[in-house]
């Protein structure tokens, strides 16, 4: 099916209709750029995170896990450079009271009707550009005093650097080794929109890989390759994925080299993940601000150095959006239009739906038995309500790869039909072989059927 069937509006609408993502606080009119993940959204998001943990932890021996606090010592943000440098230049309009990013003012629209560009009319009263820090501030403790100001972390990475020393001590690792974490980050973004692409509260999957300085370039290349492989292995079409190196003006204050993994979203090519060589910036700065030694010492040789850091940093919500967009498809079955999410089976929120053909003749009872057996192995759903065609459509829309149907023959010979979401093939399988057969399919290599469309 052609790519152009996917639009952001279709994704937003499917996400809401099928309980993946809802606008937050909707009964109060919504809160700009805040979203709640519904039942199937939680399942899909968990699967994305599980695959990331799998690649970082289970399939390697050199990476350890961490779950650090969201609110950290405020000095950490001085050391990291975020307090001084994590800013966007902003321009305010005193007339319409709106705020614009100085670097995007040419494309911005002002609040008046009919809408104009800021500065276009005599009534526009624009301030000069002022730096606006993107960190959310709050206070700890009951007293509103200067010393109680803290920040919600704008990246999970710093929690890793703050724990570097602990990991050297307990982890018995020597560079190269990594520390990985998944968690919420917060940025008071000025330009949001595009659904869950850019929000103020989002989840990151970040890994800091500590290496001997001389090996940093080699490891940077290693992680570029690993991360592109991860996205393609989970089904993103390679022709919708690319690596884009940053030029020197674009680099963050800490970075020696960065490449973005970009995906061709309906809004155009946009960042999915950033992979950076952070050098020894963070450990050196935290050592300076904390007074602690943050270096690796080889006890055998006496060699000591501050490791360089290679960082693959991906967004969970952006990954979620990319997988939804890449999977979204429409086709026609017997003259009827169908919407289908062709997700990689390991990502699909529900792996198997168990459906009795009719709600009588002992079929629901046998279907329940099959359901109880399968749910021990996979996220499984039982559905007996409504015409079978409609039940299939519902499962197609949430991306369920296999539907098991119990019919009159099932009661005679304990076989069922297994319907494949993508090929629509229906095969007859013995009930006793279902769990093993589905497990085998889940482990098989997978390729997006949209590549052949």
Least separation, in Å, of the C-beta of 58 and ligand GAP?
23
Nearer to ligand GAP, 62 or 271 (CB): 271
Least separation, in Å, of the C-beta of 208 and ligand GAP?
9
Alpha-carbon distances, residue 392 vs 184, 258, 381, 449 (angstroms): 35, 44, 12, 18
Nearer to ligand GAP, 262 or 397 (CB): 262
Ordered alpha helix ranges (H), 86-148? none
Alpha-carbon distances, residue 59 vs 52, 170, 173 (angstroms): 10, 21, 17
Nearer to ligand GAP, 274 or 307 (CB): 274
Q: Please name every residue paired with 64 in a beta bridge, in sequence order, or none if there are none.
A: 179
Nearer to ligand GAP, 175 or 315 (CB): 315
Least separation, in Å, of the C-beta of 225 and ligand GAP?
18
Q: Which residues contact 389 (CB under 8 A, 6 or more apart)?
A: 336
Least separation, in Å, of the C-beta of 206 and ligand GAP?
5
Got the DSSP string for 324-377?
A: HHHHEEEEEETTEEEEEE---TTT-S-SEEEEESSSSTTHHHHHHHHHHHHTTT
Least separation, in Å, of the C-beta of 196 and ligand GAP?
7
Binding site residues, ligand GAP, CB under 6 A: 155, 157, 187, 189, 198-199, 202, 204, 206, 271-274, 311, 313-315, 317-318
Nearer to ligand GAP, 43 or 313 (CB): 313
In the complex, which residue's CB is closest to ligand GAP? 315
SS3 231: helix
Least separation, in Å, of the C-beta of 187 and ligand GAP?
5
* Cβ 159 vs Cβ 153: under 8 Å: yes
| DSSP structure class, residue 247 | P
Nearer to ligand GAP, 272 or 283 (CB): 272
Query: How far apart, in whole angstroms, are the C-alpha atoms of residue 25 and residue 36?
Result: 8
Nearer to ligand GAP, 53 or 429 (CB): 53
Please give the backbone phi and psi of residue 360, each rounded to the nearest 5 degrees, phi first.
Answer: -160, -175
Of 425, 82, 21, the C-alpha closest to 286 is: 82
Least separation, in Å, of the C-beta of 68 and ligand GAP?
13
| DSSP structure class, residue 128 | P
């Amino acid at each position: 099916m052609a790519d152009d069937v996917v639009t952001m509006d279709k994704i937003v609408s499917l996400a809401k209709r099928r309980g993946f993502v809802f606008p937050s606080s909707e009964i109060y009119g919504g809160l700009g750029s805040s979203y709640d993940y519904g039942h199937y959204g939680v399942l899909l998001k968990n699967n994305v995170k599980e695959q990331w943990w799998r690649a970082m932890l289970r399939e390697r021996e050199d990476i350890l896990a961490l779950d650090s606090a969201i609110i950290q010592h405020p000095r950490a943000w001085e050391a990291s450079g975020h307090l001084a440098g994590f800013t966007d230049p902003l321009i305010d309009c005193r007339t319409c009271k709106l705020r614009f990013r100085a670097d995007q003012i040419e494309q911005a629209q002002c609040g008046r009707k009919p809408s104009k560009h800021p500065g276009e009319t005599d009534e526009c009263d624009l301030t000069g550009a002022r730096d606006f820090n993107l960190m959310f501030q709050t206070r700890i403790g009951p007293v509103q005093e200067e010393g109680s100001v803290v920040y919600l972390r704008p990246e999970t990475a710093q929690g890793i650097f703050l724990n570097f020393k602990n990991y050297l001590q307990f982890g018995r690792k020597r560079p190269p080794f990594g520390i990985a974490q998944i968690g919420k980050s917060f940025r008071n973004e000025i330009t949001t929109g595009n659904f869950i692409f850019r929000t103020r509260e989002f989840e990151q999957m970040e890994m800091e890989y500590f290496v001997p300085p001389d090996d940093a370039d080699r490891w940077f290349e290693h992680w570029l390759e690993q991360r592109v492989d991860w996205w393609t292995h989970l089904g993103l079409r390679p022709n919708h994925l690319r690596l884009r190196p940053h030029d020197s003006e674009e680099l963050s204050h800490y970075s020696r080299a960065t490449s973005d993994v970009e995906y061709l979203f309906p809004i155009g090519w946009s960042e999915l993940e950033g992979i950076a060589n952070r050098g020894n910036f963070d450990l050196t700065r935290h050592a300076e601000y904390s007074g602690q030694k943050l270096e690796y010492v080889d006890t055998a040789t006496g060699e000591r150095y501050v490791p360089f850091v290679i960082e693959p940093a991906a967004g969970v919500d952006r990954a979620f959006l990319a997988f939804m967009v890449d999977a979204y498809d429409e086709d026609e079955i017997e003259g009827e239009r169908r919407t289908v999410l062709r997700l990689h089976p390991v990502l699909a929120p529900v792996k198997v739906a168990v459906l009795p053909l009719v709600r009588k003749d002992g079929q629901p009872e046998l279907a329940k038995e099959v359901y109880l057996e399968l749910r021990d192995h996979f996220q499984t759903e039982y559905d007996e309500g409504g015409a079978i065609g409609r039940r299939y459509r519902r499962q197609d829309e949430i991306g369920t790869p296999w539907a098991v149907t119990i019919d009159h023959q099932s009661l005679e010979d304990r076989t069922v039909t297994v319907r494949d979401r993508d090929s629509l093939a229906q095969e007859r399988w013995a009930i006793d072989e279902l769990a093993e057969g589905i497990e085998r399919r889940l482990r098989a290599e997978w390729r997006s059927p949209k590549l052949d469309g």
